[in-house]
Amino acid sequence: MKITDIKVIPANRFMYVKVFTDEGITGLGESGTWGFLDASAEAVNSFKTYLIGQDPLNIEHHWQYMYRCFHFRGAAIMGAISAIDIALWDIAGKYFDVPTYQLLGGKCRDKVRTYYHVIGETTEELVENCVKAKDMGYNAVGHLSPFLDEPRSKPYFLPYTRMINEAADRVRTVREAVGDDVDLCLELHRRMKPGEAIAFAHAVEKYNPFFLEDPTTPDNFDSMALIADRTNVPIATGERIHTIQEYEMLFSRNAMAYARTSVCICGGITGTKKIAAIAEAHGVQLVPHNPLSPVSTAACLQIGISTENVAILEFPDHSTVSAAERFTSRNVVRNSSFKQSDMVTWVPTVDNGFVNITKTPGIGVDLVEDVEIKYPYKRRDINTRLNIDGSIVDQ
């Protein structure tokens, strides 16, 4: 079997890669570089010149070749490698007529625990959505911002004391509303300095959050290690890094309890499995980062089924726009006629907080015909929030 073509398929706010073979088997992947998909697409076109004519089943060799060939790396390049890698694993599953997870060592579990995205511009809205998730059968909620999901167009300011106390009290209100049967995955969106994050962690410790996600920017590994060392609340981070070496440096610093591996940016299924093995040696569990389309969800699900140290899977609402769209738009997107689920042939179902696995060969999903025509690609606007004094907010 040989690769005959590789096609970049931009649609809506997503970028897909389809790999074609001379045996008629195709594979599908997605790039997670959601802010720079055009650059990622060009990286795919560069890798295409190497891959055409190659055996698609030599996945590890192709991963190494793409990862090491140009001596340069970065999010756009790693997103391209990830999309291609996922597509190759999809082909392998179809070729051997088994779900991809069967080729990754088989099942570690029969279903995968998930958490549901909750959103709120007010405390009341946030609590309402957490209760709704519980009523839907979820036993964990995530993307739960104690600082609320305010529009990026709204200038930000709160005195330090109010910032900490109001956010902590919001967590208390949510905990009281859902009780102890729902785990709270608190998303801090990298918005705090280390000292602020430590103070906040102590303020919410008594409400037993599952974890604090990305309390500070990921640029300085020692800062994340400092926060983890000074708090009893588990730290989750990693969605914005994309090499196994970066993860190892964080693991060796005891900087996280949960690794937020972005399957569509950290090297695809191959890269994630490498990170998972290193994490296991450090007693760290994975919480795959998944703010993208159902194709990303299908790839994450293969990891969740076949990887022992996956704790929980982020499961976005595919009946609307992507999570990345909702949380980075100029205003929070509440309602939309667009459904991600309309772009694909299959979306996993959730039953009492667990994703039901599929036995379909490959990753189990494909795009609908002419998806790029039905849902034209739209480049993302550059948009970040400002403080009331005009300086940048990390959110």
Closest CA relative to residue 92, chosen from 31, 19, 43, 30? 19
pLDDT of residue 324: 72
State how far the Cα of 259 lies from the Cα of 238, in Å rounded to an integer.
6
State how far the Cα of 241 lies from the Cα of 105, in Å rounded to an integer.
26
DSSP 50-105: HHTTS-TT-HHHHHHHHHHSSS---HHHHHHHHHHHHHHHHHHHHHHTSBHHHHTT
Q: Which CATH superfamily hosts domain 3-99?
A: Enolase-like, N-terminal domain (3.30.390.10)
Q: What's CA 363's distance to the chain center, in Å?
A: 17
**What ranges do the domains of the chain cover?**
3-99, 103-362
Do 316 and 293 contact (CB within 8 A), yes or no?
Answer: no
Sequence-separated (6 or more) residues with CB below 8 Å from residue 139: 113, 181, 182, 183, 352, 353
Written as tens digits, the pLDDT of the chain (395 aa) is 999 999 999 999 999 999 999 999 999 999 999 889 999 999 999 999 999 999 999 999 999 999 999 888 899 999 999 999 999 999 999 999 999 999 999 999 999 999 999 999 999 999 999 999 999 999 999 999 999 998 888 999 999 999 999 999 999 999 999 999 999 999 999 999 999 999 999 999 999 999 999 999 999 999 999 999 999 999 999 999 999 999 999 999 999 999 999 999 999 999 999 999 999 999 999 999 999 999 999 999 999 999 999 999 999 889 888 777 776 665 545 556 789 999 999 999 999 999 988 899 999 999 999 999 999 999 888 888 999 999 999 88
HEC string of 165-212 equals: HHHHHHHHHHHHHHHHHCEEEEECCCCCCHHHHHHHHHHHHHHCCCEE
pLDDT of residue 184: 98
CATH topology of domain 103-362: TIM Barrel (3.20.20)
pTM over 0.95: yes
By three-state DSSP, how is residue 215 classified? Answer: coil
